[in-house]
A and B are shown apart, each in its own frame.
Chain A
Amino acid sequence: MTRSAFQRSQRREGFALIAPLTGFLLVLLGFPLLLDLVYSISKVGFETIRAPEITGLGNYAKALADREFWSAAWFSLRFGLLVSGIELTVGLALAIFLEPLLAKRPWLMAFLMLPMMVAPALVGLMYRLILHEFVGVAPYYLSLWFGDSPAFFSNDNAFKTLVAVESLQWTPFALLILHAAHSAIPLEVREAAALDGAGEWKRLAYVDLPLMGPAIAVTFFIRFIDSFRVFDNVYTLVGAGAGGATTSMSIYIYQAFFKVGDIGLAVAASMLLLAGSFVVLYALNWAARR
């Protein structure tokens, strides 16, 4: 076999090997994406879902000019940054300080993971009951001990309550990854630092944290992405909020699609979100390369 014939054969083999994955992606991602692109430039509602009327970029302009779109984006951004920051900080603290205990009793990790196992919508419903002034456990004991209980879902407190609920559920995820990263640091490195006279805090600052850097970054971004597109917890706890105060991007899209029936606007908003995600991913990739 000549060299070029061999290369052709190799190429054919390569195509054959990636064909199933390519087909899968085309069918499951490519087709919906194409359909979304068509809907996003169309006037389409439930009645005309099979016959959208292409109208141009009006839906994109409408979304970008909509105050609520930006308000939802701002809510999601604030929520995502705050929640992932809290989860990362608490998860990191727990991973470091629980390390000796978890090393001796690894089965404890299973219990710490429990909140993650519950469906977010169910967590929302659970806290709706727990925090209800008349049937909830928390207001009952707070009133008993302190004579009053805060309004957990008032306009002033709703955001804080949502952040707390989301953080309580997903901090175990941060703990899991950071615990694995912390356990993977070779003992000799720490011993060498100790022999050089580094105290516990110095070892943490100059040995542990730098070595855990990639895991910390990955944890933060996974949790940020997940919290940014939050829906279930928020929707079951407070819905879109008074005047739309707790409308996240996902809730905005859901409402435009189902409640208002403006499918073109909802899909255009989704596409803008997708474009935004690409920009962030590209920036991250660029930062990682540097």
Chain B
Amino acid sequence: MKRIRRFWTGVAAFVALGLSQAWADVTVLGWPGGPEEAALRKAAEAYNAKAADPDKVKLIFFNRDGFFDKLAADLAAGSKDFDLNLLATYAIGRYAPFMDPITLPDTANDVFGEKVLATMQYGGKQYGVPTDLSLHFMYYRKDLIDKLLSDPAWKKRYEEISQKLFGKTLDPRSPDDWTWDDWQATAMFFTKSINPDSPTRYGSVLQMKNLLFNMMVWHSTARSQGGDWMDSSGKITVDSPAFRSALELYKKLYDAGASPKDSMTYEYAEANAAFGSGQAATMLQWNAAFADLDNKDKTPAVAGRIGTAPPPAGSAGRFTHIHGLGLGLNKASEHKESALKFLDWLATAEAMEIYAKAGGSPALSDALTAKLATDRPDLVKLGQYAGQYGFVMNGGTAAKALQVYELQAKEFTAYWSGAKPLDDALSETSAGMTELLKP
């Protein structure tokens, strides 16, 4: 009898312990499959090592494909399967109704700075901790550009190509000084079908798939010509010379064969594969690609020979699209207190140091970045470019911003593929955006 009682007491204690664990753990839904996942795992590991049992965090990840759609459906359904979830600058307006605003400790300002904290704000309220900042680099093959800048025969050929392209002779320039014309001429020069002596098959690799993220990459081109989604009065301004010339630039490069034939289906991974194979000389790509491309084990064909520069300059200057990824609080969470403790910790210098060293890309204050410069030299450029060239389109955080990106992706890819004239694509985008962004 005694034994039986002891057995049941043991079972009850075990179940109670298990249940308390199951009820107390904070579940975090993170951005899957990239450096962000690896970094979040390390940060969670460090946090769990010292957090009290009820505050410990566990991580879950969806597939990247359709991530934001699935997240929208879960949040709208009031899912309690996660307490903290990924948040992106361009989707805050969409998710804000299903999330709780948060108040970060004052020290968060010293860690991130106001501009970066603002990437996680909507309607004047803070919705998340900005864990990663994304912007674009112009990736180029350092070895090839060095030769172009020094070899007289290559220079002469470059001048001939630029003369044919623009009716004027351009001299090769360093990517840090490129205008879009310089990039275009360089891309043509390194295209085998245009210049049979080119060591690469293509001068560039464009991401032209009907996908919202590809619009973000392309936007730097339009913004540098002075383009914006709308003016200060709320009037949609995409049917403009800036958008027109930026769209024409991509089409000209694609039609000339300076980008792979299947570019209309290319996104992040395909573009990296092309550049990583050593067959494309330049690529406008997300900063997150650098670590893998420069890794000798993963990309032996180009690692160690990659240079990065800010996107080329247009008539209005040099710009790069910028957005933040972060973690915010699900309104339906049943562990808000514990979840907030994790967010508070995540906004500390200690947490961000761990996160950055594990591969994440936080935009941190100068003092913190300097501390991390040996391990993560790319973070120095990240902070620098974000401050100097970063922009968010006017309306880029609106509740329907994602739908605007989707609309542009559909219309602009129709133009690039030749299925629709430019005038129609621009006027239909303008009409659609007027409807989507009306107050």
The chain A residues found within 8 Å of chain B, CB to CB, are 46-47, 49, 131-135, 150-155, 158, 236-245, 255, 258-261
Contact = CB atoms under 8 A, between A and B. Distances in A.
10 closest Cβ pairs, A-B complex: A243-B414, A151-B261, A242-B417, A258-B69, A46-B76, A242-B413, A153-B265, A134-B277, A243-B419, A155-B417
Contact of A242 (B73, B97, B208, B403): B208
A131 B261 CA distance: 12
26 contacts: A46-B75, A46-B76, A46-B94, A49-B76, A133-B260, A134-B273, A134-B274, A134-B276, A134-B277, A134-B279, A135-B277, A241-B210, A242-B264, A242-B413, A243-B210, A243-B417, A243-B419, A245-B417, A258-B72, A259-B69, A259-B403, A259-B406, A260-B406, A261-B72, A261-B400, A261-B403
A243 B69 contact: no
Contacts of A236: 65
Nearest to A45: B76
A244 B418 CA distance: 12
Interface of B: 65-66, 69, 72-73, 75-77, 94, 97-98, 208-211, 260-262, 264-265, 270, 273-274, 276-277, 279, 400, 402-403, 406, 410-411, 413-420
Contact of B419 (A150, A155, A260): A155
Contacts of A258: 66, 69, 72-73
Contact of A133 (B73, B94, B262, B418): B262
A217 B362 CA distance: 60
Given A132-B273, A153-B264, 17 more contacts: A46-B73, A131-B262, A133-B260, A133-B261, A134-B273, A135-B277, A150-B261, A238-B209, A239-B209, A242-B419, A243-B413, A243-B417, A243-B419, A244-B410, A245-B419, A259-B402, A259-B403
A286 to B, nearest CB: 39
B69 A135 contact: no
A37 to B, nearest CB: 20
Given A242-B417, A243-B411, A154 B210 contact: no
Contacts of A244: 210, 410, 414
Contacts of A132: 262, 270, 273
A239 B265 contact: yes
B320 to A, nearest CB: 25
Please report whether the interface of chain A is mostly helix, strand, loop or mixed according to DSSP: loop
A9 B429 CA distance: 67
B76 A154 contact: no
Nearest to A246: B210
Nearest to B272: A134
Contacts of B97: 47
A69 to B, nearest CB: 14
B74 to A, nearest CB: 10
Contacts of A259: 69, 402-403, 406
Q: Report which residue of A132, A152, A237, A255 has the largest number of chain B beta carbons within 10 angstroms of its beta carbon.
A: A132
Given A47-B97, A49-B76, A260-B406, A154 B416 contact: no
B232 to A, nearest CB: 27
A286 B414 CA distance: 42
B68 to A, nearest CB: 9
Contacts of B211: 239
A68 to B, nearest CB: 9
Given A242-B419, A243-B410, A153 B262 contact: yes
Contacts of B276: 134
A153 B417 CA distance: 11
A155 B261 CA distance: 10
Contacts of A150: 261
A133 B65 CA distance: 22
Contact of B210 (A133, A237, A240, A260): A240
B97 to A, nearest CB: 5
A258 B270 CA distance: 24
Contacts of B416: 242
Nearest to A49: B76
Q: Report which residue of A49, A131, A238, A261 has the largest number of chain B beta carbons within 10 angstroms of its beta carbon.
A: A261
Nearest to B96: A47
A239 B210 contact: yes
B9 to A, nearest CB: 42
Q: Report which residue of A47, A132, A240, A242 has the largest number of chain B beta carbons within 10 angstroms of its beta carbon.
A: A242
A45 B46 CA distance: 40
Contacts of B420: 243
Contacts of A242: 208-210, 264, 413-414, 416-417, 419
B66 A240 contact: no
A49 B98 CA distance: 12
Contacts of B411: 243
A255 B414 CA distance: 17
